[in-house]
Structure 1
Amino acid sequence: MAGKHTYHRPEHHHNHCRCSCGGGRFITFLKILIAIIIVVGLAVLILWLIFRPNKVKFNVTDAKLTQFNLIDNQLHFNFALNVTVRNPNKRIGVYYDTIESSAIYKNQRLQTQWLPPFYQGYKTTAVISCVFSGQQLLLLAGQGLTEFNAERVAGVYEMNMELNLRIRLKFGAVRVGKFKPKVNCEFKVPLSSDGSSVVGSVFESTGCDIDYW
């Protein structure tokens, strides 16, 4: 009698291969991603060490208010101010592509202007001049009205000016970024109708806050 032969089904390793191959690709991708992050991080660190960027500084150095009358909820105003912009960086220039300036009183926008763009070189100081004039609906009640009456008696008003910017930075010959910092300037300005300030009131230069994000 012929001997019995036992048949063994060959084992298949396709699923195991798929898992191994897929896992290998993922690990390779992860290694490449980590390497890219490290290279970019080192590049940023090297650039920072070379250029050592410092924040641009904004200050309201002069302001004149010649009209500020509230009649039937209509505010008639006329004031001008100068903002100095100091770039302290030795190797970084700044392109101010868009400059939107707004006059604000008691959290209410009085007027908005768009100023001409300009480039600011290394370690230089520029001056932004703004003139706001006209009339605007101004609704005051409660604390806001109380503060307005007190300021009218004192002849000194607390004002705000905002600058919404769109800038680019220049590193040597390279221009990078489209940043949108917001500058907020809070200052007190005396009312003057004849070119002179209220007795005992002198405008004081005031620094501005900058939010780069």
Structure 2
Amino acid sequence: MAEKQPHLNGAYYGPSVPPPSRSYHSQGHDGGCGCCGCLLKLIGGVVVVVGLAVLIFWLVFRPNRIKFQVTDASLTQFNFTTTTNMLYYNLALDVTIRNPNKKIGIYYDRIEANAFYEDQRFGTDALTPFYQGHKNTTVLTPVFKGQQFALLGANELSVLNSEKNLGVFDIHVKLNLRVRFKLGKVKTWRMKPKINCDLKVPLSSNGISVVGFETTKCDIGF
């Protein structure tokens, strides 16, 4: 005879049933990427495009470095008066610029020449802007003439007197440029290279110097 099960009043005592799972979506990110991810992708794309442009430019034009050198220098006055701390000078230069490229022209939008002695600037000359064509050589003629207040200590005065006895002065000339390159009909953005020329300039009297000036190559920096 089968046992009679007790009445359970509809209650269920088995294992609990888990609630249905819910899916959550972050607002603002559906179907897209985060701000950081998009920015990284954009930067990566720009780097790739710029790299390809530089590679194509080099393969097509094969640019050669522009050459700057001082081919002549005339120094007819270079005297310092200790009572007034005034430097009197008269310096003229021939600066030769060579563009060896066959397909690249150069716009020199700004040319400023500065002359220094013992790290002190004593002269400035603003030159006329110009365009330099393909495989062209141009000569600039900056002139520094006048007087300038200078503070020369004991060491600087010793160097000055030593160079005066030798008849040759160490003068540093810097060209501050603002240039653009022309590739066919395309012009690049402006660049600001600095040209540095360390010169040994003989002092001449009546246009004659004991030693001659030697052509000096200049360094280019950006």
Superposed pair shares fold, TM > 0.5: yes
**1:34 corresponding residue in structure 2:** 44
Q: Max radius of gyration: which structure? A: 2
Distance in 2 between the 1:126 and 1:182 partners? 17
Structure 1 residue runs of 4+, over 2 Å off?
1-12, 17-24, 26-40
Which of 153, 177, 195 is the equivalent residue of 2:189?
Answer: 177
In the TM superposition, what is the alpha-carbon distance from 1:203 to its structure 2 partner? 0.7
Q: Which secondary structure does the structure 2 equivalent of 1:203 belong to?
A: coil
Matched AA of 1:40:
V
Question: Secondary structure of the equivalent of 2:162?
Answer: helix
Structure 2 counterpart of 1:18, which letter?
A: S
RMSD over equivalenced CA pairs, Å: 2.5
Count of aligned positions: 208
User: Measured at CA, do residues 31 and 162 of structure 1 come closer, stay the same or move farther in structure 2, by a change above 3 Å?
Assistant: closer
Identity of aligned residues (%): 50
- Which structure 2 residues correspond to residues 59-138 of structure 1 after superposition, within 5 A? 59-71=69-81, 72=83, 73-138=85-150
Deviation at 1:137, TM superposition (A): 1.3
User: Aligned in 2, Cα 1:159/1:24: closer, same or farther, shift over 3 Å?
Assistant: same
Q: CA deviation at 1:143?
A: 2.5
User: Which consecutive residues of structure 2, in runs of 5 or more, have no partner in the other structure?
Assistant: 1-8
1:136 Cα shift?
0.8
Which residue identity does 1:49 align to in structure 2? L
1:56 and 2:37 correspond: no
Task: Structure 1: state its 5+ residue gaps.
Answer: none
1:45 equivalent in structure 2: 55
Residues 1:191 and 1:28: Cα distance change in structure 2 (over 3 Å): closer
Task: State whether structure 2 residue 18 is matched by structure 1 residue 18.
Answer: no
1:206 aligns with 2:213: no
Deviation digits for residues 183-202 of structure 1 (CA, Å, limit 9, x no counterpart): 1111111111211112xx01
